[in-house]
């Protein structure tokens, strides 16, 4: 009897989810067309909303939806194959693919753990020291591991090791604080590197698709490193206050033991270090040699497989999530088709007059608000792909660079209240080691602090360096 009731509840839940998927697109389809809201645009919104809701509600495998989405644009007559598959001719999918493979290579080497434990020992091994040491190590790891999911997995695993070693209880303030310390290191600190923030790469790619130069790797560093360091340490401090342990602990002996267990610097770690130095040099000088970031990552990935180097093999490839490439190109296709049917311009004409009422400062903050709102219905990749071109048009109308709007928009994509809004916090939450109340507490505080950060630190800094 119990199994029957469970099955009935499950069927009812699935039925309700499909209603949620079908009703909003139906309402959109029934809206009358106008000169501004064309039939092609209507079909574009219907197809896109269905895909987004299927992703959000996880009714159908994410990759399957990503494969069907561009085909739907073609069969509906909304766009041509050349339009929807244009993202495959850009370097971003190959950058992400190379980054995923290199992340697996770096993780296998043991170098990342060595660096993290070294920083923790410098922090003294106390609770506060660990939180700040993790944040500091995050600045280095952001350059070494481009894949955000790989960084989350690395730091989450490390945090659980620390929690278990120190005997902290599940859901306790100390254990939850360490988990968010790991998130802060893996995600917040990654804003120091262009390749550490995937939605910014999507934004860059979309700008370049319409002939607007995006941020180079070195430009991004100048524009964001100083303020990101401040922002990351602000969040580290906030974590120690929000999840203050009842009794300070000392874990230096454990970390010293773990660090010593790694032994001497291995040949593999030395090889990885050389690869990393070459990679960072090529990224930093991309404006000089003109090689796109994606081709650099693919080239360095190839080097890892060469005889004599032998840092990767078939088992490394088996760890690579190739499906993510199809997801990213599908979200980029939304942006491409949006431009073709004029949906981007339609959104701009509808919303942006309100966003340009109060000058540059107001517009940048309004862009952040737009991003936080759109993140409830679009994935970060899809949001960047869809809004990059309209925001570039807005920046052009104001006579400013689109980059400050891009930076503000991407910051907004990382502010959320529900786990499903992004795979990064969702992965952390899925470990079931924190309550939703604790999750909401952290991200609510982060959201408030982030808009203050954008208004009081980021925008003045961008004015100071002449970006605005």
pLDDT, one tens digit for every residue, the chain (468 residues): 555 555 566 677 787 888 888 888 899 889 888 888 888 889 998 998 888 788 777 788 878 988 999 999 999 999 999 989 988 888 778 877 887 787 778 777 777 677 777 777 777 778 888 899 889 989 988 887 777 777 776 777 677 767 766 777 777 888 889 889 989 998 999 999 988 888 898 888 888 887 888 888 889 999 999 999 999 999 999 999 999 876 666 667 777 777 788 888 888 888 888 887 888 788 767 667 878 778 888 888 899 999 988 888 888 888 777 877 887 788 778 877 877 887 766 766 677 777 767 788 999 999 999 888 877 766 777 788 778 888 888 888 888 899 999 999 999 999 987 665 666 776 666 566 778 788 889 999 999 999 999 999 999 999 999 998
How many angstroms separate the Cα of 179 from the Cα of each of 134, 243, 434?
A: 11, 10, 9
Residue 250 DSSP class: B
- Residue (of 160, 228, 163) closest to 194 by Cα position: 228
- Residue (of 411, 421, 422, 327) closest to 371 by Cα position: 411
Q: How many contiguous H segments (helices) and E segments (strands) does the chain have? A: 24, 0
> Quick check: 153 and 427 in contact, CB under 8 A?
yes
Name 424's Cβ contacts closer than 8 Å, sequence gap at least 6: 148, 149, 152, 183, 186, 187, 414
- Residue (of 83, 16, 90) closest to 44 by Cα position: 83
- Helices 39-57 & 2-30, crossing angle to 10 degrees? 160
Cα distance between residue 164 and residue 73, in whole Å: 50
- Residue (of 402, 375, 371, 384) closest to 335 by Cα position: 384
Listed in sequence order, the DSSP H helices in 110-216 are 111-122, 127-144, 148-165, 173-186, 198-209
Q: Indicate whether this model's pTM tops 0.85.
A: no
């Amino acid at each position: 009897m119990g199994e029957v009731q469970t099955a009935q509840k499950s069927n009812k839940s699935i039925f309700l989810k499909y209603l949620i998927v079908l009703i909003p697109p139906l309402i959109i389809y029934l809206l009358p067309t106008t000169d501004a809201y064309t039939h092609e645009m209507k079909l574009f919104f219907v197809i896109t909303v269905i895909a987004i809701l299927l992703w959000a509600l996880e009714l159908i495998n994410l990759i399957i939806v990503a494969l069907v989405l561009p085909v739907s644009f073609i069969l509906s007559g909304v766009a041509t194959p050349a339009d929807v598959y244009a993202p495959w001719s850009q370097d971003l999918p190959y950058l992400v693919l190379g980054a995923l493979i290199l992340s697996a290579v770096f993780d296998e080497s043991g170098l990342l753990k060595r660096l993290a434990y070294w920083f923790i020992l410098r922090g003294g091994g106390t609770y506060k020291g660990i939180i700040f040491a993790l944040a500091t190590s995050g600045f280095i790891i952001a350059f070494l591991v481009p894949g955000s999911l790989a960084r989350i997995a690395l730091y989450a695993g490390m945090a659980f090791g620390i929690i278990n070693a120190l005997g902290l209880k599940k859901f306790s303030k100390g254990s939850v604080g360490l988990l968010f310390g790991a998130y802060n290191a893996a995600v917040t600190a990654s804003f120091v590197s262009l390749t550490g923030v995937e939605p910014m790469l999507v934004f860059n790619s979309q700008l370049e698709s319409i002939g607007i130069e995006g941020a180079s790797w070195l430009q991004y560093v100048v524009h964001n490193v100083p303020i990101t360091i401040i922002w990351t340490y602000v969040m580290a401090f906030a974590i120690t206050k929000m999840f203050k342990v009842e009794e300070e602990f000392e874990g230096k002996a454990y970390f010293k033991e773990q660090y010593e267990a790694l032994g001497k610097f291995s040949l593999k770690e030395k090889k990885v270090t050389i690869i990393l130095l070459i990679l960072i040099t090529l990224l930093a000088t991309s404006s000089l040699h003109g090689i796109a970031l994606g081709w650099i990552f693919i080239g360095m990935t190839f080097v890892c497989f060469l005889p004599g180097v032998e840092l990767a093999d078939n088992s490394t490839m088996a760890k690579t999530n190739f499906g993510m490439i199809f997801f990213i190109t599908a979200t980029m296709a939304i942006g491409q088709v949006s431009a073709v049917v004029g949906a981007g311009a339609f959104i701009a004409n509808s919303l942006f007059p309100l966003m340009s009422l109060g000058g540059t400062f107001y517009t940048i903050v309004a862009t952040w608000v737009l991003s936080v709102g759109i993140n409830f219905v679009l994935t970060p990749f899809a949001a960047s792909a869809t809004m990059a071109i309209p925001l570039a048009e807005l920046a052009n109308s104001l006579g400013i660079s689109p980059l400050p709007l891009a930076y503000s928009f991407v910051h907004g994509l990382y502010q959320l209240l529900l786990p499903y809004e992004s795979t990064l916090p969702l992965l952390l939450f899925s470990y079931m080691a924190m309550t939703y109340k604790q999750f909401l507490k952290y991200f609510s505080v982060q959201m408030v602090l982030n808009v203050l950060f954008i208004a009081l630190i980021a925008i003045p800094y961008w004015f100071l360096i002449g970006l605005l």
